[in-house]
Each structure stands twice: as C-alpha cells, then as structure tokens.
Amino acid sequence: MSKKQITFNVEVRERIGTGGAREARNNGFVPGVLYGGTEKPVAINLRLPEVMKAIETGHFLSSTATLVHKGEKQLVIPQAIQMHPITDRPVHIDLFRVKADQKIKVEVPVHFTGEDVSPGLKKGGTLNVVRHTVELLVPAGHIPEFLEADVSALEVGDNIKISDIKLPSDAEPTITDRDFTIVTIAGRVSVTDTGDEAADDETAGEEAGEKEEGGED
C-alpha cells in the first residue's frame, strides 16, 4: 500500500501577514506556515502546481510530504489547508515538522472490497458504512495509504469491526476502549411490510375507539 511521494520545493517568505500572503498568491505561490519540533514557526511559499498535484493524489492530508529548501530536506505532515470558496484553489497551508519514526495521529481511509459477491448484498441488503476513515497512531514514515475491509462473506446483519481489519504491525487505532464497528450489512424494510404494520395500527385504533363508545352507552 505504497503512496506516491509528495515533494514541495519551498521558499522562505520574508514578508508575513496579509500583505505578504496576497503577494505570494499573486506570484503563483501558496502561502504557508511550517511549525512543530524545537524550531520556531517559519512562513513559507509553496509552488501552486506542486500543491495542486499533491491535492489530486487524494491523500494529501493523510500522508507525509518532503519539503526541499536550498538542498535541505524536512519531513512534514499537512495539518490544514484552506481553499478559496469560489475558485476552490488552495490559499493557505499549515505544515508540521515530523521525524520518520515519530508516532503521529492521522486519519486513514477505509476501502471496501467484495461488494459484488457479498451474499447479504445479493439478498437485497445495503452496505451501511459507519466509518469511512480510522484514526491511527502510526510512525510518520509508515502511514498506510488505506485500510481494507473485505465484505465478501458478510450476510445481512453481519458487521466488520476494527479487530477484523489488518493493521500495520507498528500502527494502532487511537480508540482503544472498545472494538468499534466499521461497516454493517443492513436489511431493507419492504413497503408492503410497512403498509401492513400501519394498517394493523389503524385497525387497533378503531377497535379501541369502538370499545370506548360502547362504554359510554
């Protein structure tokens, strides 16, 4: 489950504040802030095409990236990204310094397989996804691209819990006090059944009304 490596060639942004950020955007950069570790926060400029390419990988916020500045490299993990509400282009990024063996919390997406052969789904059940992502505590240099949940053997009413998911040996869920559910195969309630139940309720109500009227005579 290897990921395509993300690399940013960055420049230190001398002019900070709103004016500096606006100038960076006008020159084709995305302003950002690098922080974390024992060093002070640094205002930086990232190249817009590189940022767009990173976003298109689909795992920008759940994987590490390498910053390159004057030949020096720094491993980071994106903490937040702000998008323009109209153009949907990135306008600011926060990056956090990490080491490859440093354990961090990160949301990892869950991919579902075996839907085409699941007996429960074939019988009319529906895939009820409880968690699309799982937060893991994992070394920054070994974040899995995704977790896999195989539903191929599930019947209606069955489920997959976190204990059923194969995790990397050096990763663990941040929720440890319970075996939480990832996905279930839910049954469908037919319209006929619902209608019958409603009719029964209505009949019961009418009978109750008739008894009350009889009591008043």
8-62, pLDDT tens digit by residue? 999 999 888 888 899 999 999 999 999 998 889 999 999 999 999 999 988 888 8
Confidence label for 90 from pLDDT (cuts 50, 70 and 90): very high
Q: Which pLDDT score is estimated for 3?
A: 58
Q: Token pair of 70, please?
A: 């004057």
SS3 34: strand
CATH 2.170.120.20 residue ranges for the chain: 104-191
CATH 2.40.240.10 residue ranges for the chain: 6-98
Q: Token pair of 92, please?
A: 């600011």
Q: Which CATH class is domain 6-98?
A: mainly beta
pLDDT average, residue stretch 97-116: 95
Burial letters 22-54, b for 16+ CB under 10 A, else e: eebbeeebbbbbbebeeeeebbbbbebebbeeb
Q: Which CATH number fits domain 104-191: 2.115.10.20, 1.20.140.10, 2.170.120.20, 3.40.47.10?
A: 2.170.120.20
Burial letters 154-189, b for 16+ CB under 10 A, else e: bebeeebebeeeebeeebebeeeeeeeebbbbeeee
Measured CA distances, 24 to 74, 88, 92 (Å): 21, 17, 10
Q: Token pair of 128, please?
A: 């009820």
Q: Which pLDDT score is estimated for 9?
A: 95
Neighbours of 151 (CB within 10 A): 24
